[in-house]
Amino acid sequence: MEWTKIVKTKIVMKLGLPVPAEQAVREYIRAGATVFSVDPNMGTSQDLDDLYTAVQQASAAEKAAVGILLDLPVTNDPLRIERNISSTEGTLLTRIDRALAVGAAIIAIPVITNAVYQAIWDLARQHPDVLILGKIASAANITDCPDILKTYDGLLIDRDHLAREIPVEDVPEVEQSLIQQCLAAGKPVITAGQMLSSLMMSSRPSRGDVTDVAYAVVSGTDAVYLSEAASRGGDPAGAVAMLNRINNKAATMLPSESPLLTQQPANDSITETTATQAVVMTRQAQVKAIVTITSAGFTARQIARYKPQVPVIAVTAEPIVAAGLQLSWGIDPLVVASGSTREAMIQEAENVLAQTGVIQIGDAIVVVAGYPFGQAKDVNNVTIHEYGVYE
């Protein structure tokens, strides 16, 4: 059983070279990092293998379902995409293929038309459980966002590049709009660009940096991206811990009920409708948590868009699905053995909730699953279950 402690707004942390020791990565996980970002363009193939190994070993040691994000650079020049890779090191495509093979769960691809990015897209799509994020970095991307969300599994908002493309005073409004579009679509969104960059020069973040992070959280982002402060700051673990503190405080300013609950489209799928009802039930009864049994993570992401006030445990037998869910707000992935029964999955989730003090014997939880279990095409069943009472 693998589980990650309850985190609401997720933290993506950039890892660079030299390769951090396993113990350092474990400290980052304890501080609150749920996804580690890697530029597959950097270093040697061996450097990248060592980096993936360090993350995976730290994840196993911490019993945490941690995600790896491949973050591709933004450029219109296909030749520059592979500028750091020598001919003896193979191509960027080879490196990405290797990363996906060892378990990278997420890839962010700039929404720019060129042959290299298209080839990477085609390769990633061969791995159906890998999340492909559209990297929003241009004015055209902003206009095309509704169509981009139909094609991609979520967004990474690259505010640094956006600020070069549009008036800088427009960036906050655009950031909020992109986040809201992702929430409406039930797709994860990362807000990136100079988060807590003042920590590169000081042990305390500036007031402006704190407000910047809080604005992203209150706007509804699923995750915030720690890059400069992680790769060039003097205390990476401390930067993660500080970001986590700001996230948690800002999350208390979110509305107690998502406006999306009153805006449910008439054409929602069965699974989307079931997810909505699960969140509604937490407000109508004394429910302490939601447990969703998911094979691909879709149901959990639909629940996440409403930002429920109770903990949400997503139970899955697929480690890569759990890793991808580390981008979704408030979702705590729990990996169980393949072939586990519905009852066994519920009990494992209850054990986690009980161990963390969320529930006690007799407390109610909402269980979301497909019925008949293991056969249903859609997640179509939502019930209230009493902890400690089994059929």
| CATH number, domain containing residue 318 | 3.40.1380.20
Q: How many helices (H) and strands (E) does the chain have?
A: 16, 14
Classify residue 73 by its DSSP letter.
Answer: P
Q: Using CB atoms within 10 Å of the CB of residue 98, give its burial: 0 to 12 exposed, 13 to 18 middle, 19+ buried.
A: middle
**Residue 85 belongs to a domain:** yes
- Residues of the domain holding 108: 2-251
Q: Which pLDDT value is given to residue 243?
A: 96
pLDDT above 80 (res 89) = no
pLDDT band at 391 (very low <50, low <70, confident <90, very high): low
| Predicted pLDDT of residue 80 | 57
Query: Would the pLDDT of 2 be above 50?
Result: no
Give yes or no for a contact between 288 and 364, defined as CB atoms under 8 angstroms apart.
yes
pLDDT-based confidence at residue 313 (cuts at 50, 70, 90) = very high
Q: Are strands 364-369 and 381-386 parallel, antiparallel or unpaired?
A: antiparallel
Classify residue 299: in a domain, yes or no: yes
Q: With bands split at pLDDT 50, 70 and 90, how would you rate the model's confidence at 173?
A: very high
- Domain membership of residue 391 (yes or no) is no
Examine the domain organization and report whether 182 and 83 are in the same domain.
yes
Tell me: do 228 and 354 sit in the same domain: no
Same domain, 294 and 190: no
Do 21 and 122 lie in one domain? The reply is yes
pTM of the predicted structure, to 2 decimals: 0.92
- Do residues 182 and 310 both lie within one domain? no
pLDDT category at 274 given cuts 50, 70, 90 is confident
Residue 184 shares a structural domain with residue 309: no
Do residues 344 and 336 lie in contact, with contact meaning Cβ atoms separated by under 8 Å? yes
Instruction: Render pLDDT for 178-225 as a digit per residue (tens, 0 to 9).
Output: 999 999 999 999 999 989 999 888 889 999 999 999 999 999 999 999
Q: Average pLDDT in the 323-329 region?
A: 97
Question: With bands split at pLDDT 50, 70 and 90, how would you rate the model's confidence at 3?
Answer: very low
Q: Total structural domains in the chain?
A: 2
Q: Kindly report the average pLDDT of the chain as a whole number.
A: 89
Q: Rounded mean pLDDT of 213-241?
A: 90
Q: What is the mean pLDDT of residues 342-367?
A: 91
